[in-house]
Each structure stands twice: as C-alpha cells, then as structure tokens.
Structure 1
C-alpha cells in the first residue's frame, strides 16, 4: 500500500507525538522537510533547492546512480547473515586494505561509527589487559554508553567523568593552551598527554588506549599540529597502550591530499586501530574497525566468538565497493583539494573584511570558521553564529555550528561540492555578516 503524502505541518505534528524529543531536527525553529536529493542539493516538498554543506554521510553525493544501482542489484540477488561465506566482504576488505598502511590488515565490519568505536575499545582492552582511556577534551566518539563515557562533549552534561577516563587538552592552536605563536605546539600538547600518563600511573592504574578523532569535529573543526600523533603514540605505547584513530567523520578522502586524515602526520605514523563509518555507505549504515594481526589475535584468544548479524552483509559491501569506485572514477580527492582551497581562500578574504571572523581553518572539504566578539579575548560570538546559520537557511543554504562555544560554522559537504557552490555560500556569508555588523 502506498504511503499517504503528508503536509509539512502534519509531519511535524506526528514527529513530535511519535519520535523522542531528544532526537532533534536541523533548524528546529523552522525545520526543512526534504523529499528528495541529488548530488549536493536537497529539495523540499515545494521543489525548492537547498545547497547541502553538511551531509558528510552522503559522501559522494546524494542518490548517486552508481551507488543506488549497486544496492538494488545486490538486494535483488542476495542479502544474508554475514556468517555465510560470500565474496563481497573479502573483496571490500581487500580494497580498503590497499588504502591503509600494511600493518592494518584485519577488518571487522559493523553498522555505525558508534558500534565501531565500541568494538575498538574492546579490542584495546583485550590486547593490553588495561582499562583506562585517554581522550581529548570536547571529544565525541559515539552514543553508546561505553562511548558517552569517553566523550567529554557528552559526559560533562550527564553523569560526569569515570575514574578510568582521563582528559587531555585539545590541541587547538587558535584558542588552546599553546597557540600558533608557540615554537612547537605539537610537542607541547603531546607532553600534556605524557603528564597525564604519569598521573595515571601514580594512581596505580594502567592505560589501554588513546582515542582521538583524526580531525576533532565537535570540538570546532580543529586541525591538529603535525607531529602531535607521533609523539603521543610514542608515549602511549611506552605506557602499554594502543593508539586509536577515529576516522568516522574524516576518512575516505575528505582531506583530499590523503585517503585518511591520520596520514596528514606523515608516512612514518600508523595507528594501532582505525575506526571508520559515516562516509562508507553514502547513507547506508556501514562501518568498520581495522587493526593489526597481533591485536586481532588477542581478541580471538579470549575464547568468545564475535559476530555481527548485519555488519559486512552482501548489500552493505556492494555499496561500500561502489563508493570506492566513485571516489576513484570521479577523482573526488582532487576535487576536495581544489574546492577546499578555493573555499578557504574566499573565507580568508572575508576574514580580512569582517572582524567577527576570528579564524579560518581546514583541510580539503573539512573546513570551519570561528566567529568571535573580539580578536584579543576571543569571546565566542555564539548568538551571531546562530543568526548567521538561520539566515543562510533562508537563502536555501544548509550549514551548522560546532565547538564548545557553538561559534564555529562547519563545512563537511558531499565531496562533489563545487567552486561555484563555495562562491555562492561565501557571497551570502559576506552579505549576512555585513547586515549583522550593521545591527540588522
């Protein structure tokens, strides 16, 4: 039976009645009802087109025909429990392995970034036989109970910090402890982790892992100082722990120059565990953990079988393979470099014009700009940022905010985002900031 088409007001009323109110909508003051999408564009029930600057899940573009055809073809043929032998899962793992350092060679497929990070936590604890975890301040690693516990962004608003969780300062060279004028911010921030390890050991506790988003997103689109990962990994491994790189937001070529954001730190750096998720399935629930043979063997040796009913099923892997095809065939990494650089250039031109723009930062199509009330004290311009995003929505442009002060406007668009899209957005940002600064 065909579903009834509802008016926007009916849909909103039913959502309020039936869906948990903590599941918030974008633009909750006036939600957009989206009925179809293509590439980097969304269309509402009236046919109005919105430019999507935030859907990093639809990595290669909404409703890409190669993805939808691969999904439909495999769905018509077979979808089954992953405990049956099938080609797709091994072929997909082989394709992913080709993008990673050689020692990262054992894959576990799951269904969400949260599930991937939870499994990474289990792997780290089983391998090290230690419990404690070091994370960065403002980090977010997922919505499972285990991950709320290692996500300061969440636990500071809830039950608080567990005794086995230890929080290091986020290496923010704009407003953090050590800034761009510091002679070696990477080493200085890494030493804060070393000091934390020393404190943990004094309490008689031991480190299992250091969890870090390769580019912290919720913390405000932070670009970590190069070399930080190497030093932290050295300290963590010396303490008996492992280094976990969370690539759920940033993997699959978003940074352009590399396939994975952790690779920005150089070929001599390799995490012990990598988690991936959002972009993998272009909107289909697909995620993964990859690790070393040694860590995987320790997990096997615990004697407890691990299986995932849906993770790595034939349809999911067919979609994952199709996503890799599109990234390669459409050269989306190069697009991320060229369009991202163009966007950053335009935003920096606006920064020179508008005092309210305190900082512009990014790499590839992972970009943010921070609004401040003044450039000395760096007081977050939270209200102005919210107003900017609301007014951009009125111009049919979807953007959103992040950062502890909710004053960072973030770009994580589909990878087919164009230079013309970047110009359209920045023209409207210029106009709206001029109005805001003029008191309009």
Structure 2
C-alpha cells in the first residue's frame, strides 16, 4: 500500500532505507532534479551552510542560540540524529512532531516521481521543505558528508562555514587533508563570505578560496581565541569578548562568533554570556547526570568523537578535567580508522571496555580489543570486551569512584545505544 502523509514515521523511514540500491551515492544530479521541482524560495532568509570534519553540530547550535537571543526566527537541519529522527530539524530550538516529518516525506515523494533518492537525499529534501514552510529569518544547514557533492549543497548559502579539516570518510572524500579540503570547499560561493575555523588549513583550502572567489575570514588570522584564568576570550578586529568557559569545543565557539560577526548581529555582553551558557548539544562533551548511581559515582562523559581529529580534542578536554582515573567505553564503525581513533587515549586510559554496537556497520568489541592489544600494546588485563555500552558502564562503576571519569565515545550509534537503555541505570 502506498504511503501517505498519515503513514507512521517508522513506516516512512523503513521505506527510505529500501528505495535506493546503496546508502551513499555521491553526486547532485538526482537531488537537484527533485529540488528544482519543489521551487523552494529562500530569498527572505539568511542561509548559513556549515561543513567540516568535526564541529558542525556545535557550531550550528551556537549560531542558532545567537539568532534566538537576537529575536530572529531560526531553523536548523543537521545529521545524524542520536535518539530520534526528529532531531534532524529544529525550529526555534524545538523539534517537530512525527506528523510534520511524514507530511514532508509525502511532499518529496510527490515531487520525485521516478527519481531514485538515497535515505540521506530524501531526508535532506524533506528537511529543506520543512524549513522553507516556516518562513524563517535564519536557516542553518549542516553538511552530511564532504560538501561539494552533499545534498545540502543544492542550496546557495549567504555565508559558508568550514569548521575543521581532518581525515574521515576517506573512501568518499580522498585520503589526504588536501583532497578533503577541496571537497569541503565546494560549499563556497563566488563573492560570498566563508568563515574558516581550521587553524592549520591545507594549501588546497587556501587555493580553493581563490578558485571559488570567496571572501574568507581565517581562524588564527582574522579571529582567534584563548583561555585565560578559566575564561574564554575571543578577539577580532571589531570584537573583543570575554565569557566563562563554554560547554562545547572552544574552536567551534570562536568560529560561530566569527559567523555572527559577519552577519552583523549585535549582541550585548550579557547576551554573549547567555549564548555561551545555553549552547549545549547532546553527545558533544555531554556530562551525563540522568542516573541514580549515587554521590560516589564517577563523572560520565559522552562524546560522538569518531575520527582521530575529534579524539585528539576529546583527550585535551579530558586532561583539563583532571580525573584521577579514566575508564573508556568505545564502540566504533568498522570502516573507521580504529587505531587512529583509539591511539590518543592510550596514554591516559586506566581500563578499556570496547563494546558491540547494534548496527551492521559496527566493529565487533573483540576486534576493537584486538586493535588495542595487538596494534597499540595495551595490556590485555586492562581490556574487557562487552556486548553493550551500558554493560561497560556497569562494569566500570564497580571500580570507579567520584574522582574518576567514564568516557563513552566512538560513534553516534554508540551513544544512541547508550541513551536507549539509560532507564536501566
């Protein structure tokens, strides 16, 4: 039976997973064809497209918060989700109900005709349809994979943002930072601003700015940040700002502030501080407190770090926290650089709990354990392979105390499995 706007969200998502022969199919031809039929008009909105190996979600979230504090209506499209699909679209920081998403899916189904779309392409078009329906002042679009050939790139941004350049998704984007930078740079537009948060840009990114005739502002040159006396300090030619330390990665805060500067939004010192206080994103440096483990339980830190670049930042953050001991629960996809992801943690982790994750793409806990022992020389007595992130936590809290840290990382899917079972804690 054909699906309708009244069909369930689960039925629609199952359908989306079944209609294209492969999950990732790079190229804009199919999605552009359907997008043209939709005739979406963004002329009344400021469109911001955010690409980067890491930091897209938190950069989007900070800009979103600033928009709301400056009384601008704002919508965000980002992926992937952690708990429920509805997380992919936010309108003024609120999620839409299932009925809104199924109506959007039905609209795309009507528009696509016989054009085959991947799950991500279909979902992206539906997300754009939902955002366009709201007649927003600001639209923030998080790139899914790369930039140049990502479905989001069918929309021309007023401001492009590139948060960072690291190694990830090499099978699709290239196996060097130089090649990956070219793909990320594909979101730039001629004579439009691009804010670049990467402090060590590959030569190809510099060249791409010239090729695309974009107007670039660079981290470390046009804007910078530092931490002084437990305060965050941002500096550019036009703005000097001091706040308490943000809850999200500091490079992304600086990049987001540079975007807000570029847009000419005028926030008071109080509003900047409020923006810092309010910007949180689940699964990004998230301290998990929704448990009943008691006052002697360790701090539980959740982060979706799933590549070496993100792992290095997470380790820096953990060192600042200064826990006595660190217990690591890690589930990771088998197509990732598992050794590169784990290596930064090896010098600081007391005990490892590699875990299974409930998705076919995931590496087995036993394979992660083997990587730790065989490739990274971790003593086998400090490795306990487990069947689920929650199982790892249950093991860890038998030993860990309030001065210790349990960190759960490796994939959005790992965090999703964890959150799905937190009622057991």
- Which one has more relative contact order, counting CA pairs under 8 Å at least 6 apart? 1
Q: TM-score of the superposition, structure 2-length normalised?
A: 0.30
Q: TM-score of the superposition, structure 1-length normalised?
A: 0.29
